Structure 1
Amino acid sequence: MVKLTLKKVIVKRSAKKLTIRATLKVNDKAPKRGSKITFKFKGKKYIGKTNAKGVAKITVKKSILKKLKKGKKVTYTATYSKVTKKVTVKVRK
């Protein structure tokens, strides 16, 4: 059984970048290395590859963060195979 874990994120509109992480584990113990995880943020697809600890990271650029409205929540998704998780990002001033 594969487990995909995401965390809620708070970001400022003025931030230089936003880093989103997802953890992929097999049987709730062993990390899965070298797997591709597809992220969707504001309609754009990003692909991250898991490291030895099973963590995949992507970076959202400042140009996209500037377009977000302060005080709102934005939902992003991470998908591996048939497992999909949704989490919100809260946008601060």
Structure 2
Amino acid sequence: MTNFFAGLGAVIGVIALALILPALSVAIGWLVGVVVALFFGGLLADGLNVIFGTDRFASGDIPAITAVLALAALFLRAKYTAKGSGE
């Protein structure tokens, strides 16, 4: 019976982690965006407009952009491992 509850707890934990991690990633990305917009808002928005050849970006958009990028980075991670010395 304890194995059943341990398995149930593990399943619930994995589901909770799968729901909390994306929300936490978006929240952290948004907070970082607020700080970046506070210090570099106009400069960063102008740079994005020059890079993409548009006038779409404003300094108020920076938190939303960083939140989306943080969420994308959560799912698009790559792991690089060094090849061993042959031991």
TM range (shorter): under 0.3
Q: Over alpha carbons, which structure has the higher Rg?
A: 2
Structure (1/2) with the larger strand percentage? 1
Structure (1/2) with the larger helix percentage? 2
Normalised by the length of structure 2, the TM-score is 0.24
Normalised by the length of structure 1, the TM-score is 0.23
